[in-house]
Amino acid sequence: MAAVAVSAGAALAAHDPETIDVVAVALLSLSSFLTVSFMNTFNDLRDVPIDRRAHPDRPMVKGTISPDGVRWMIVGLLASAFILTLVPSIMKGRWEPIAIFAFALSMDLIYETRCKYRGIQGNITIGILTGTLFLFGASILSITPLVISVGAMAAAVNVGREILKDVQDREGDHGSRRTLVMIRGERFALFISHLFIILGILLSGSLPFITRIHPLAFITIIVADIVFMISIPISGRSPTHSQIMLKAGMACAMVGFVLQATVG
């Protein structure tokens, strides 16, 4: 999904899809895939004490993968991602991809060392990282208002989803994190989650005012918004099913963004 978001960001930033440097975008897309893999692996390594209680079947908890092996994997993923960002930056003579890569890495380190344990701060950090993927792809060309709006929409919906994940994982997180559901209760956490989801829906409605959006792309995005809205009333009964709905809505919205980039 990260690689698709980067490719969509590049395509949305291009006035003519035929002018896109496919090699440069492919390298940035692969870099994003490796960067997200680095972030997830680093997160899993730090979460081993928590996962012994909450997710005992994970490979690092069971000892299937050694900590030293994971550390070498982390170094390899990060080095490879940096090289894959540096090459297209030099090819196109643009510094923005390197700057966004450094920003994303800094945000992830801040998340792992501070924000992850502080509830809503961590949720917002992850949301920002999600929205940054579109900017990363566009940075090889130009970061347009359309790309910023799409990134903001993705960030808002993902913050809502992250809060839902905390509601779902509150038992496993007990004693190690202070998530919003632990501090203010489930009802308040769901309320804030719904606000961010609604914000994402409202941001999608601004797209026709920013650019001439293709009707088919806009219909697809409207369908995604309907799926987002359906996820709200079921979140109280089943945060897990609500998350599945949000993932489906995000996938549908991504199709809309790709359609806009290719036929808009």
Residues 68-107 as b/e (b if ≥16 CB within 10 A, e otherwise) read: eebeebbeebbebbbebbebbbeeeebebbbebbeebbeb
For residue 124, name the pLDDT band (cuts at 50, 70, 90): very high
d(CA 138, CA 146): 10
Query: Which residues have C-beta within 8 Å of that of residue 22, sequence separation ≥ 6?
Result: none
Is the pLDDT at 118 greater than 80? The verdict is no
Alpha carbons 99 and 115: distance in angstroms, whole number: 22
Angstrom distance (rounded) from CA 123 to CA 180:
9
How much is the pLDDT for 14? 80
Q: How confident is the model at residue 106 (pLDDT cuts 50, 70, 90)?
A: very high
Of the pLDDT bands very low, low, confident and very high (cuts 50, 70, 90), residue 165 is confident
Listed range (2-6, 113-117, 143-147) with the worst mean pLDDT: 113-117
Structure-block tokens of residue 151 = 């990134």
Most confident of 37-51, 57-71, 112-126, 244-258: 244-258
pTM listed for this prediction: 0.86
Kindly report, residue by residue over 46-58, the tens digit of the pLDDT: 766 666 666 666 6
Average pLDDT over residues 14-25: 78
Percentage above 90 pLDDT, the chain: 39
Give the gyration radius of the chain's Cα atoms: 19
- In sequence order, what DSSP letters do the residues of 130-193 get, joined into one string? HHHHHHHHHTTT---HHHHHHHHHHHHHHHHHHHHHHHHTHHHHTTT---HHHHH-HHHHHHHH
Map out the domains of the chain with their CATH numbers. Answer: 2-263 (1.10.600)
